[in-house]
Amino acid sequence: MVVGDVTTAVDVLILGAGPAGYAAAIRAAQLGRKVTLVEPGPVGGTCLNRGCIPLKALLEASERYARTGIEELAQFGISAETVSFDWSKMQAWKQGVIERLSNGVRRLLTGNQVELVQGIGWFLNEKEVRVEGEHGSLRFAFEHCVIATGAGAPLLPTDVLTPEQALKLDTLPEQVTIAGNDYIALELATALARLGVTVELAVPGERLLPEVEPAAVRLLQTGLRKLKIRVKTGVVVEQLKARPLVVCKEVRPATAGLRLDVAGVQVDEQGGIKVDSMMRTSNPAVYAVGDCLGSHALAAVALKQGKVAAEVLSGMRVQFAPMVVPQVVQGWPELAAAGLTAEAATRAGYQVKTGRFPLAANGRALTLGADLGAVFVVADAEHETVLGGTVVGPRAADLLASLTLAIEMGATLTDLTEILYAHPALSEAVLEGAENALARAIHVLNKP
């Protein structure tokens, strides 16, 4: 590596090694490009180090603790004297998961001959980037550049916690107020309540998760009540006096320090980088992916956009154009949704046909001791094309995949019912949800 102001010519330069950046790096390398990946922190970005993975690890640990509670076990005929947990050991386990995944990404980068440069980068002009880091100050001239710098937490008062900070508290508080109306607020509330923290969920807006099928939200609310989480709607977050307070708010694109103006890369009013469906910016040599666009703030989207950018800059004609973006709340019960709700489909002008199948009628759910949940299917009444689906219950996010595939492929309700589903399995609830829309589910009374 050249130190000083000598310019090093590189093929594909990627700024940021979160899911968007590392996916772009690996995919570009697979396509024969020589990739230099710049990152000041650990690989994996927000998702792996501070967001999705730590939160899911904590959800899992807290679920195991709650599920081995004495009353929970008693229903299976099992008795236990005491069940307890050690918060610092739980944190250490969570950190172990993060490190395993981060090392795995590092190995994949090395295996794909991606050069990782530790440092922070910004543009010098339309074709060059400066990187400052452990190798000093470096100057790169790129053939193509992908910006994948993610997003940062919004500005909050100093005594207010972000969800990332709440995930690594040294000690568990006795009580906490969590403000927000998204999956992060609900998941954090779930994990902490299961560990015995008294949680108040302060929801801005009149309805919890207004975009989600109302009957599915009601199931989630039943779960929140069981966990003794107090939900208060219509809250003005800025007026909340309660402490400790965690505020889950929209993140802001991390683009301020990139000097995008000198690179000829246009941004919107919030600083989100403007791209077309092929992830191209206003500079023909520069692409942008992930949270720095300021649109979805989901790792699932970031990973896909990273791959699309790598393919486009390698000469393939592909687009980022999903019909639906799955939404998941890994609460208790878990909720996952894709596509239109019945209400949204009607608003969009469809005559709708809906199906519903409760987990209480699914054999596998009962053997799991998890009957709080249901599958909701929405279809266009005329062609019976699947328009949307919502799953509430164990592993809802995994079960949603077949409904997402059905929507993307323009499958009909009959398509969903023609394949064989393993038995006994939770996936049979998806089958019977579709069958119920066709008024022919076996394990539930169908509406006439």
Binding mask 47-86 for ligand FAD (x = CB under 6 A): x---xx--x-------------------------------
Pick the closest to residue 222 from 366, 388, 392, 346 (CA basis).
Answer: 392
CA pair distance 203, 208, nearest whole angstrom: 7
Catalytic annotation, pick one of 135, 144, 383, 423: 423
Residue 376 φ then ψ, to 5°:
-120, 130
d(C-alpha 121, C-alpha 129), whole Å: 6
Candidates 105, 237, 298, 391; binder of ligand FAD (CB under 6 A) is 298
Closest approach, Cβ 421 to ligand FAD, in A, equals: 27
**Integer CA distances (angstroms), 332 to 185, 186, 370, in order:** 13, 9, 10
The span from the CA of 324 to the CA of 377, in Å, is 14
In the complex, the smallest distance separating the C-beta of residue 199 from ligand FAD, rounded to whole angstroms, is 16
Shortest approach of ligand FAD to residue 119 CB, angstroms? 7
Residue 396 lies near ligand FAD (rule: CB under 6 A) = no
From the CB of 349, what's the least distance to ligand FAD, in Å?
Answer: 30
Closest separation in Å from C-beta 424 to ligand FAD? 28
296 is catalytic: no
Does residue number 444 form part of the binding site for ligand FAD (CB under 6 A)?
no
> Which one, 52 or 434, has the nearer CB to ligand FAD?
52
Q: Determine if 128 is a binding residue for ligand FAD (CB under 6 A).
A: no
| CB nearer to ligand FAD: pick between 202 and 345 | 202
On whether the CB atoms of residues 377 and 355 are closer than 8 A, the answer is yes
Cβ contact 391:380 at 8 Å? no
Q: Between 28 and 365, whose beta carbon lies closer to ligand FAD?
A: 28
Restricting to residues 148-177, name those near ligand FAD by CB under 6 A.
148-150, 163-164
Residue 186: which residues within 8 A CB-CB, separation 6 or more? Answer: 180, 201, 209, 220, 224, 329, 331
* Proportion of the chain in helix, strand, coil states, percent, rounded to 5: 35, 20, 40
Interface residue with ligand FAD among 161, 203, 299, 365 (CB under 6 A) is: 299
Q: What is the contact mask toward ligand FAD in residues 5 to 24, using x (rule: CB under 6 A)?
A: ----------xxxxxxx---
Region binding ligand FAD by CB under 6 A among candidate stretches 69-77, 295-303, 343-351, 353-361: 295-303
Residue 443 CB, shortest distance to ligand FAD, in Å, is 32
Q: Are strands 115-123 and 128-133 parallel, antiparallel or unpaired?
A: antiparallel
Q: Is 5 helix (H, G, I), strand (E, B) or coil?
A: coil
CA distances for 446 relative to 24, 116, 438, angstroms: 47, 58, 9
Active-site residues, by number, are 423
Interface contacts to ligand FAD, rule CB under 6 A: 15-21, 38-41, 45-47, 51-52, 55, 120-122, 148-150, 163-164, 184, 254, 257-258, 290-291, 297-300, 302
